[in-house]
Amino acid sequence: MAVVDELLYAFERGDVAKMDTLLSDDFNLRIEHYGDDEADVSWQHSANKMEFYILLERLSKEVFSKGTQILSLETTLLADGWTLSKFKQKFFYAVRNREVFGETWILAHEKDNRLDYFREIATPVVNVE
């Protein structure tokens, strides 16, 4: 299993201790939202592991206040530690005050079994009917 998969499953479980073992000190993350003008996402980036934990706390409160459920996760191993993942999830989206389905694409890089780069492109969420 790719390190990015382990990270996402740890996030689903709320297992911060496990997440810590999967991240390099210079872990660099950015989440971008394609076609979603509902929320200010300018804060969804971090340049290192310490900044990531600040971001994670805010994500947990403002976006994933009731956690998330992974519906599917498909990761393709590329070359030299790079991976590309298609990730589908269901979660309570506080911005809309309702459950939604989300689909994202993640480009990640791992070195020495730790992630050092993570770029997520989230597509617009769809309300659960």
In tens, the pLDDT along 68-88 reads: 999 999 999 999 999 999 999
Provide the pLDDT for residue 39. 67
Residue whose token pair is 């506080």: 94
**Structural domain of 35:** 3-127
CATH number at residue 111: 3.10.450.50
The pair of three-digit structure tokens given for residue 100, joined into one six-digit string: 């939604």
Buried b (16+ CB within 10 A) or exposed e, 69-83: ebeebebeeeeebeb
Provide the pLDDT for residue 42. 85
What's the domain count of the chain?
1
Burial class from Cβ neighbours inside 10 Å (0-12, 13-18, 19+) for residue 37 reads exposed
Q: Phi first, then psi: what are they for 57, rounded to 5°?
A: -60, -45
Block mean pLDDT (10 aa), the chain, length 129: 97 96 98 79 93 94 91 97 97 89 97 97 91
